[in-house]
Structure 1
Amino acid sequence: MNLSDNFPIEFYDALVIGAGGAGMRCALKLTEQGHKVAMVSKVFPTRSHTVAAQGGINAALGNVTPDQWQWHMYDTIKGSDYLGDQDAIEFMCQEAAEIVRELEHFGVPFSRLESGKIYQRAFGGQSQNYGEEQAHRTCAAADRTGHAILHSLYQQNIRLGTTIYDEYYALDLLKTINGEIGGVLVMNIHDGAYKILQSSHTLLATGGAGQVFRNNTNASINTGDGLGMVLRAGLPLQDMEFWQFHPTGVAGKGMLISEAVRGEGGKLRNALGEAFMEKYAPHVKDLASRDVVSRAIAIEVKEGRGCGANKDYVLLDISHIPEEVITERLPGIRDISQTFLGIDPIKEPIPVFPTCHYMMGGIPTNIQGQVVSPDDLGEQKVVKGLYAIGECACVSVHGANRLGGNSLLDIIVFGRKAALTISEALHSHKPNRSNTDLNLQSIRQRLQRWQKRSETSAETSAQIDSVIQIKKSLQQIMDRGCGVFRDHQTMQQAFNDLQGIQLRLDNVCLTDFNDVFNLERLAGLELENLVAIAFATVTSALARTESRGAHSRVDFAERDDQAWLKHTLYFQEAHRLVYKAVNLHPKHHVAFEPKPRVY
């Protein structure tokens, strides 16, 4: 392409980058409010990763056991290992019941009790009366809840006529001459052509980045595109040391086996046949928080009680559960087991091992969905024109460890809230396009670097390195350096190795970078994001000299509230870290003070 040419431009009241549950809910609300909205997705919207969420969405409805939003709030704060911001958690839990009823009215086919009420299952870390008894709080549509929510929201957006750019890839945020965010550059994946989508309100809902690890439950599209864009814009990422490893990924393959399996009564067993979670969480056993269960499995394997020829996994046993319960409430899990393992879980246990699942950190935001960043004095200031929601954002309702069933709640609660924030701004100040000239210098330089690599490749007889090879090396480094258990030596080695990865990426050559259908170009752009996220993760993890939630260090085994009850903010330039205090001040409920976390 000729980079001196002007990019075609289209104007919108608001842009939503990402068409998972968060982006869909936001776009739907904005379209309902009468705004001209464009939603951008690099896959067909119903293939967004929300479709893979299995177990359910949390809300204190009290349909199976007595429940209150205050108990949900306590469980979420405790689950976060007290790193979650209590004002944001309070807001999310208060909104939950209305959110679920709203989803039901959108057409989500929730499973039902005989009474006709929405079925709720038990999930890890849930309790009644602030930790006394197990709660049943997770509203489920069998074991395909995310699938049901995503399709219902898509149909509602189609009904209202939301503009959707499907199979378009968002490359970078664009700034106005005043330094505000004024839109985004996108690439049509079909033909490689570029286009500017301009708006005074750009919202990122680009999901997670699990592809930074080799063993993960994430789709191949989860490459942290929104996070990479934010870093390149000179803004920080928050709490990137905290990655959740789901206890029950299919051993050796990574596909998710939902927590719903344990919620319905499944038991984890070691090679001796022991239901070993009784040792690690004697009160709630297999329904402890995910970080607790993941560490327990890793310890069982490390100490020689793993199963199989290599003793490298444990077994998830549901053979004692009635067959009709499995076929009604866990049909998708049974299908995964039969398809990928040739095992019918009604008859045989499923081999499982922890696998990277969810990113607790992300783009720092406030409750309104606005991106925030510290100024020179350390004060958190709103970044004008930019919003973020869902897994790519860090509000922070998950802190150091997310509870199962809270991710679907997070995306819908803050998807709606961000839409209301944007709509209010649009009603107050209609966009003035004449004052939104964009500075395209940085994006042109980035594209020119990639085109130069393509031309260099064309002049050589052999391709020395490839994007695929570099990505595999990156994933291996992250698996070794930032897994379930961490220490200074392995993380420092990972940081050193990442510098080599950066050099390889800087010198990689693509076969072509012209205006054509080109998945290699897409993979190269995605890899830039993954490498930046890896640096953010390792840098932040090295600095946090404590164990908290999913960040478990063998050389600093205890939680240190005096030194580390604070959020990490990572800036890409010089791998700089700054910190901000955890919000311990909810608006309505009394604060929950940090205390020892046991289950």
Structure 2
Amino acid sequence: MIDILIIGGGGAGLSAALAAHEEGMKVAVLGKTYPTRSQTSMAQGGINAALGNVGPDSLEAHIADTLKSAHTLGDEAMIRRLCEKAPEAIAWLDELGTPFSRLEDGRVAQRRLGGASGKRACYAQDYTGLKILHTLHDAALKADIEFLGEHFLLNFIVEENRVLGVTAIEMKSGEVKAIGAKSVVVASGGYSGLYRGFTTNSTATTGDGVAAAIRAGCVLSDMEFVQFHPTALKGSGILISESARGAGGKLLNGKGERFVDELKPRDEVAKAIWEQLESGEEVFLDIRHLGEAFIEENLPQERKLARLYEGVDPMSDLIPIKPVAHYTMGGIEVDRNHMTKVEGLFAAGECANAYVHGANRLGGNSLLETVVFGREAGENAAKFARENGEVAPKSSEQFEKDRNFVAAIPHFTNQIDFYEKREFMGKIFYRNVGIVRNEMGLKGVLAVIRQMQKELPFMGIADKSKEYNTNLLEFIEFGNMVELAEVVLVGAISRNESRGAHQREDFPREDDEKFGGVHSLSWKEQGVLCNEFEGMA
């Protein structure tokens, strides 16, 4: 039997897998895509650690910057732990062979990202996440960790509030499988896929693990907080790294005017760009003055992306940009051991809310969280498995329920095209649940989402085959998206203030008296969504 089952093969999942393996556990990594296609590969700018390799920096400055970005919603103890373990995380990645960019003396190079008080982000050109991901994947392969690729998570098997494994569709056969484990780590990524067509994330980022968690009895928290990256390519939404601005890139409007300090926190820069766009201006990123040698050495990917997707060469042209959904601060609530409300079910990375990002994540902290908290989750899952052992399911209720559901989908009437609904969701979320929100727009979208929930049985699929049925899988993904969309909207409507990435036109200021240090919590009782606000314990 598998000791530790990891859901997701990105930075957090692979870090957890390696840590659990080091504890002597039999580990398997399950994912609907292969690890090298995970969202971690899109993280370009860097991973934070107060090494002080390029100018003065300190642990306390890293903590202070993170707390400031969190806008009172960060847990100082968890933030301190994250920042304290950052140098150790860089040393571990370095030992594994991560090809970091280097200074002339051989030390890891560092640069400044938005919201940081110093040059703190360790980087590998502008491929940082990709290089880390490939290094972790190589290490996992060398450790003979088992990979269950092309397995689509359906639900967690939970009995008496203890996780016993998962149900999943094996894509190549189309069969529903039950996979048992002594403990499970969810590292399945965020839910920015709700903003389809207006996000830096891949189309696979549909929040499947988060949706399965709330169905299993977990609490979701702060789901209304979605970070919008200031600089994505105008036409495609593909990310242009913050490192371009950290290196001296300028933001210009159509008149050639700079209108914001480019290295302010992401929420402030994204809002300033949005206001320019709403006023009818175009917005551009200008890195021409950095010179060809610098761009080719430090920002080669940004040049390739701009040429490929926008038809402009940053050496001589302005890059047209817009802000799009990038990172979800909310997720599955975990305790300080990274365990959810369900015993034996741990969560790490973007799918989890360990209260370190709060209302607005600090650039460079996401990769850090995947490594530090991914490893901790793996270690704690191993400890749980060792102390609690194997428990066989008393029934196959979850398996039978999921197998019957999957078998029924081809018989849905398919009167309504869910692909059209998915595209529509992306548009209305970007417009009304985006950088600037108001009650009327939020409630209008909530009404649309609840109508979609009612219409799901009338959507269905056209492809009736079993093997590699992407039509079926995308329909299930859409169901997860609709489920999470309601959670995001209820939290956003109820938070009558502006805080970090959550900007309300009708409540333009932070209300510390009512919402300072207060988190939105969402859970389900007999299938009905419940929501309340609660202060930090």
Partner SS state of residue 369, structure 1: coil
| Alignment correspondent of 1:367 | 336
| Alignment correspondent of 1:30 | 20
| Counterpart-to-counterpart distance in 2, 1:257 and 1:246 | 9
* Counterpart among 21, 24, 36 of residue 46 in structure 1: 36
Please tell me whether the aligned partners of residues 183 and 382 of structure 2 are also in contact (alpha carbons under 8 angstroms).
Answer: no
Please tell me whether the aligned partners of residues 453 and 507 of structure 1 are also in contact (alpha carbons under 8 angstroms).
Answer: no
Which residue identity lines up with residue 190 of structure 1 in the other structure?
K
* Counterpart among 185, 195, 207 of residue 224 in structure 1: 207
| Counterpart-to-counterpart distance in 1, 2:510 and 2:438 | 15
Which residue identity lines up with residue 509 of structure 1 in the other structure?
G
How many residue pairs get aligned? The number is 533
Task: Verify: 1:291 aligned to 2:260, yes or no.
Answer: no
Alpha-carbon deviation of 1:512? Answer: 4.8
| Alignment correspondent of 2:534 | 580
* Counterpart among 191, 198, 223 of residue 173 in structure 2: 191
Please tell me whether the aligned partners of residues 368 and 414 of structure 1 are also in contact (alpha carbons under 8 angstroms).
Answer: no
Partner SS state of residue 51, structure 1: helix
Unaligned runs of 5+ in 2: none
Deviations 1:59-92 (A, max 9, x none): 0000001111110000001011121111111110
Task: Verify: 1:346 aligned to 2:315, yes or no.
Answer: yes
Which residue identity lines up with residue 36 of structure 1 in the other structure?
K
| Alignment correspondent of 2:519 | 567
| Counterpart-to-counterpart distance in 1, 2:259 and 2:217 | 47
Which residue identity lines up with residue 274 of structure 2 in the other structure?
A
| Counterpart-to-counterpart distance in 1, 2:530 and 2:78 | 26
| Alignment correspondent of 1:327 | 296
CA, structure 1 residues 58+164, in 2 after alignment: closer, same or farther (shift >3 Å)? same
Please tell me whether the aligned partners of residues 412 and 457 of structure 2 are also in contact (alpha carbons under 8 angstroms).
Answer: no
CA, structure 1 residues 450+325, in 2 after alignment: closer, same or farther (shift >3 Å)? same
| Counterpart-to-counterpart distance in 2, 1:500 and 1:424 | 44
| Alignment correspondent of 1:592 | none
Hey, which bits of structure 1, 4+ residues long, moved more than 6 A?
none
Deviations 1:14-49 (A, max 9, x none): 110000000001101111221111110111111111
Indicate the percent of aligned positions where both proteins have the same amino acid. 37
Partner SS state of residue 523, structure 1: helix
Partner SS state of residue 504, structure 1: helix
Please tell me whether the aligned partners of residues 199 and 237 of structure 2 are also in contact (alpha carbons under 8 angstroms).
Answer: yes
Task: Verify: 1:93 aligned to 2:45, yes or no.
Answer: no
Please tell me whether the aligned partners of residues 467 and 523 of structure 1 are also in contact (alpha carbons under 8 angstroms).
Answer: no
Partner SS state of residue 182, structure 1: strand
* Counterpart among 376, 396, 400 of residue 444 in structure 1: 400
Task: Verify: 1:404 aligned to 2:338, yes or no.
Answer: no
| Alignment correspondent of 2:63 | 73
| Alignment correspondent of 2:448 | 497
| Counterpart-to-counterpart distance in 1, 2:424 and 2:69 | 33
Please tell me whether the aligned partners of residues 367 and 414 of structure 1 are also in contact (alpha carbons under 8 angstroms).
Answer: no
Which residue identity lines up with residue 478 of structure 1 in the other structure?
F
Partner SS state of residue 372, structure 2: helix
CA, structure 1 residues 323+420, in 2 after alignment: closer, same or farther (shift >3 Å)? same
Task: Verify: 1:301 aligned to 2:277, yes or no.
Answer: yes
Task: Verify: 1:201 aligned to 2:177, yes or no.
Answer: no
Which residue identity lines up with residue 581 of structure 1 in the other structure?
G
Alignment of 1:444-463 (within 5 A): 444-457=400-413, 463=414
**Structure 2 length-normalised TM:** 0.97
- Comparing 116-125 with 190-199, greater Cα deviation is found at 190-199
Partner SS state of residue 142, structure 1: coil
CA, structure 1 residues 137+210, in 2 after alignment: closer, same or farther (shift >3 Å)? same
| Counterpart-to-counterpart distance in 2, 1:302 and 1:470 | 25
| Alignment correspondent of 1:376 | none
Alpha-carbon deviation of 1:450? Answer: 4.4
CA, structure 1 residues 456+561, in 2 after alignment: closer, same or farther (shift >3 Å)? closer
| Counterpart-to-counterpart distance in 2, 1:569 and 1:328 | 45
Please tell me whether the aligned partners of residues 7 and 187 of structure 2 are also in contact (alpha carbons under 8 angstroms).
Answer: yes
Deviations 1:423-480 (A, max 9, x none): 2233434x23xx42254324533443443342254xxxxx422231221122223123
Alignment of 1:258-297 (within 5 A): 258-277=241-260, 285-297=261-273
* Counterpart among 152, 157, 170 of residue 174 in structure 1: 157
| Alignment correspondent of 2:425 | 474
| Counterpart-to-counterpart distance in 2, 1:478 and 1:443 | 33
Deviations 1:527-556 (A, max 9, x none): 111111110110000000010000000100
Unaligned runs of 5+ in 1: 1-10, 128-134, 278-284, 308-313, 373-382, 458-462, 584-599
Please tell me whether the aligned partners of residues 412 and 458 of structure 2 are also in contact (alpha carbons under 8 angstroms).
Answer: no
Please tell me whether the aligned partners of residues 154 and 402 of structure 2 are also in contact (alpha carbons under 8 angstroms).
Answer: no
| Counterpart-to-counterpart distance in 2, 1:528 and 1:236 | 19
| Alignment correspondent of 1:460 | none
Alpha-carbon deviation of 1:582? Answer: 2.9
Alpha-carbon deviation of 1:513? Answer: 5.3
| Counterpart-to-counterpart distance in 2, 1:227 and 1:502 | 17
| Counterpart-to-counterpart distance in 1, 2:300 and 2:287 | 13
Alignment of 1:379-458 (within 5 A): 383-429=342-388, 431-432=389-390, 435-457=391-413
Please tell me whether the aligned partners of residues 38 and 163 of structure 1 are also in contact (alpha carbons under 8 angstroms).
Answer: yes
Please tell me whether the aligned partners of residues 167 and 402 of structure 2 are also in contact (alpha carbons under 8 angstroms).
Answer: no
CA, structure 1 residues 545+523, in 2 after alignment: closer, same or farther (shift >3 Å)? same
Please tell me whether the aligned partners of residues 365 and 371 of structure 1 are also in contact (alpha carbons under 8 angstroms).
Answer: yes
Partner SS state of residue 262, structure 2: helix
| Counterpart-to-counterpart distance in 2, 1:417 and 1:519 | 34
Alpha-carbon deviation of 1:115? Answer: 1.7
Please tell me whether the aligned partners of residues 446 and 489 of structure 2 are also in contact (alpha carbons under 8 angstroms).
Answer: yes
Please tell me whether the aligned partners of residues 4 and 183 of structure 2 are also in contact (alpha carbons under 8 angstroms).
Answer: yes
**Structure 1 length-normalised TM:** 0.87
- Comparing 152-161 with 495-504, greater Cα deviation is found at 495-504
| Counterpart-to-counterpart distance in 1, 2:323 and 2:42 | 17
Q: What is the Cα-based RMSD across aligned positions, in Å?
A: 1.4
Deviations 1:468-499 (A, max 9, x none): 12211222231232011000100010111111
Which residue identity lines up with residue 571 of structure 1 in the other structure?
W
Task: Verify: 1:465 aligned to 2:420, yes or no.
Answer: no
Please tell me whether the aligned partners of residues 364 and 371 of structure 1 are also in contact (alpha carbons under 8 angstroms).
Answer: yes
Which residue identity lines up with residue 17 of structure 2 in the other structure?
A
Alpha-carbon deviation of 1:289? Answer: 0.2
CA, structure 1 residues 456+497, in 2 after alignment: closer, same or farther (shift >3 Å)? closer
Please tell me whether the aligned partners of residues 10 and 38 of structure 2 are also in contact (alpha carbons under 8 angstroms).
Answer: yes
